[in-house]
Structure 1
Amino acid sequence: MSQNQIPELSGFGGDDLDAAFAKIVDEVQDSSTNLTDDEAVEQFRLHWLGRKQGRLKAISDAWLKSAPADAKKHIGQRFNKLKEEIDRRLESAGNVGISRAQLAAEAIDVTLPGLRRPLGAEHPLIKTMNEIVSVFQAMGYSVGVGPEVETDYYNFESLNFPPNHPARDTQDTLVIANQERKPLRDRLLMRTHTSPVQIRTMERQPPPVQIVIPGKVHRNDAADATHSPIFHQVEGLCVGPKITFSDLKGTLDHAMKAFFGSSVKTRFFPSFFPFTEPSADVQISCIFCGGTGCRKCKHSGWIELLGCGMVDPAVFALVQAKQPGYDPKKVSGFAFGMGVERIAMMKYGISEIGQLYSGDMRFLEQFA
């Protein structure tokens, strides 16, 4: 009988099948003793597992297909074990032909120290914003967030901006295209301040409310040394019974001292904002000269930092439609807002706002 000839089965009993398959297993073992290189491994694979002329296919054709129906199951079980034995021989020979140098190059020395990726650092804007927020969190304020794409209602109407207010004009506000067919209050725009989150919070939550709102805002401003069409704000809102302007002054005075140092002084000047009445601009004593006067404070000794005021009763009246607890006759509150870029530039001595958005690692590494 030649090497490729398949012997005939003497019978289909268990002993006959075991004896026949045992001879084939011995043949597999004998032919796998010389798998010393990749070429020998490939020849072994083709000899046994070749799709057209492989010996395993020939065994299947000679024994399995011609077997009676009641013997096919027993032959199939032994046939699967035979294939597993061939696959095991191939797997154990898989690294044949690989040199010791190659194996050494692929080895991993688990005793070596690991490679540490350098840790990043907070961007000066994010760091400043987090520091401001942490000051108010220490006073019991929670943090609120909201969408950057807002409706005209939440960005303007609910905040007491009249329809003809200049802020609604596209020269000041970035509006979403193709909104003309919608009612004015439903038109979409990029929020110009984080104040819409104040309205959304009051609609969801009855008073008392103490919330601070950090976030990105957008305005149609030409980029220059101190302006950018994208910038960040931190706004705050406090609402409850018997909230007064004295509470506002005390809160902001404490916050400025916590952020800039206990020697900082604050002062308030009358101002105007559509959603607060009365309103004020807040100045702090110059942190560079201590109030004596220098170039950075234009020799005034003071730096204007943020706006604030008591929430206009008209705002509460609009919110009351969805949240009855905001009765202007029973609750009052104050709001404030500050630009993060302005504070970061002042704190870190940055002369141009564009440097904060340049992505220049040489500039950002200074703050790591």
Structure 2
Amino acid sequence: MECEQIVAKAQGEIAAAQSSAELDGIRVKYLGKKGEITLLMKQMGALSKEERPAFGQAVNAARKAVEETLAQAIEKIAKKENEEKLAAERIDVTLPGRKQALGALHPLTQVYREVRDIFLSMGFDVTEGPEVELDRYNFELLNIPKDHPARDMQDTFYVSEDVVLRTHTSPVQVRTMLSQKPPIRMVCPGRVFRTDDVDATHSPVFMQMEGLVVGKNIRFSDLKGTINTFIRNFYGEHVKTKFRPGFFPFTEPSAEVDVTCTVCGGKGCGACKGAGMIEVLGCGLVNPVVLENCGIDPNEYSGFAFGLGIDRLANTKYGITDIRLLYENDARFLRQFV
């Protein structure tokens, strides 16, 4: 009789349960180590030998009845809870879509490709070379021997006495002249390294592209025409250029090239220091000594070379005043160039 009462009571509580947690509590209450049905089994010790079989059968039947009722209730409530969870997490298809953020090329890559394509359209080849370079190619063959004061201008990272991180891409020009006979028309892009980070306009690592043309009867007018064509394609037809005398050991004569300041349009501002123009590249006719060092007869051939910083072109084109912004990978800055 006691077993029947316990089963009836348990089934009533199971029927009233609303969650898996409540059902687990009922399971412990009746079937756990200290549960009511479990405690019934401990009463068998007080019964006579004849009473024990019948009592044991009654207790086992009660346990089985509660277990079956629990199993059915657990399945039913689990299904209900799953449906409620799915309903709560349902996607509202009436909501407007969320636009996915798209990636874009880094401004330096954009500028590099634009510059590269301009020179490709002018018939130049694109050539690359090693970033860790021999002193012989980086300096000596370019008319910069070990005792030359121009070495102080380069702020060089030395790997060893004869190995450096290249300070310009000019070694690629040297390698080209040593391996290829004129006529030569090439540009060489890549990273270069200098121990120079004194202000917002300098960086120890930056992108450079240099160009070289070697052939017969190459004159300064050819150089000037090439540079002006590039500048107007890159900045626009309205931009003016100015060639100023300069000095580079590997070119003679040499020139610095200024363009109309893109920040103020030539009126004068902090970016151009009031001059209305800003320097963008250096150039000149290839020094006959360099041609001779590379096995090219300077009496038969001449040439011109130029070097420009991709970073500086990006700065001047987009009005960026701090070169470090190009390397910090701040998404707020980069999104402006998408």
Using structure 1 for the length normalisation, give the TM-score.
0.62
1:136-162 CA-partner distances (Å, limit 9, x unpaired):
111111101000000000000010002
Match among 258, 268, 271 for residue 296 of structure 1: 271
Give the C-alpha shift of residue 298 in structure 1.
2.4
Matches within 5 A, 1:280-359: 280-320=255-295, 326-359=296-329
Give the C-alpha shift of residue 169 in structure 1.
5.6
SS in 2 for 1:203: helix
Match of 1:259 in 2: 234
Read off the aligned partner of 1:356 and give its amino acid letter: L
Give the C-alpha shift of residue 167 in structure 1.
5.0
Matches of 1:168 and 1:248, distance apart in 2: 26
Matches within 5 A, 1:156-235: 156-168=139-151, 172-176=155-159, 179-180=160-161, 187-235=162-210
Matches within 5 A, 1:1-368: 119-168=102-151, 172-176=155-159, 179-180=160-161, 187-320=162-295, 326-368=296-338
**2:271–2:321 CA contact under 8 A, matched in 1:** no
Give the C-alpha shift of residue 198 in structure 1.
0.3
**Percent sequence identity over aligned pairs:** 55
Matches of 1:130 and 1:167, distance apart in 2: 31
Higher-Rg structure is 2
Matches of 2:260 and 2:324, distance apart in 1: 26
**1:240–1:331 CA contact under 8 A, matched in 2:** yes
Matches of 2:100 and 2:239, distance apart in 1: 40
**1:310–1:334 CA contact under 8 A, matched in 2:** yes
Matches of 1:235 and 1:339, distance apart in 2: 9
**1:358–1:292: structure 2 CA closer, same or farther, 3 Å change rule?**
closer
Q: Which runs of 4+ in 1 moved over 6 A?
A: none
CA RMSD of aligned residues (A): 2.4
Matches of 1:254 and 1:366, distance apart in 2: 28
Give the C-alpha shift of residue 292 in structure 1.
3.3
**1:118–1:293: structure 2 CA closer, same or farther, 3 Å change rule?**
closer
Matches of 1:264 and 1:170, distance apart in 2: 30
SS in 1 for 2:191: strand
Matches of 2:149 and 2:195, distance apart in 1: 12
Matches of 1:350 and 1:170, distance apart in 2: 25
**1:317–1:131: structure 2 CA closer, same or farther, 3 Å change rule?**
same
Matches of 2:247 and 2:152, distance apart in 1: 19
Structure 2 unmatched runs, 5+: 1-78, 87-98
SS in 2 for 1:246: helix
**2:250–2:286 CA contact under 8 A, matched in 1:** yes
Give the C-alpha shift of residue 301 in structure 1.
2.1
**1:207–1:141: structure 2 CA closer, same or farther, 3 Å change rule?**
same
Using structure 2 for the length normalisation, give the TM-score.
0.68
Higher helix proportion:
2
**1:167–1:173 CA contact under 8 A, matched in 2:** no
Matches of 1:158 and 1:118, distance apart in 2: 49
SS in 2 for 1:249: helix
Matches of 1:223 and 1:272, distance apart in 2: 22
Matches of 1:301 and 1:356, distance apart in 2: 24
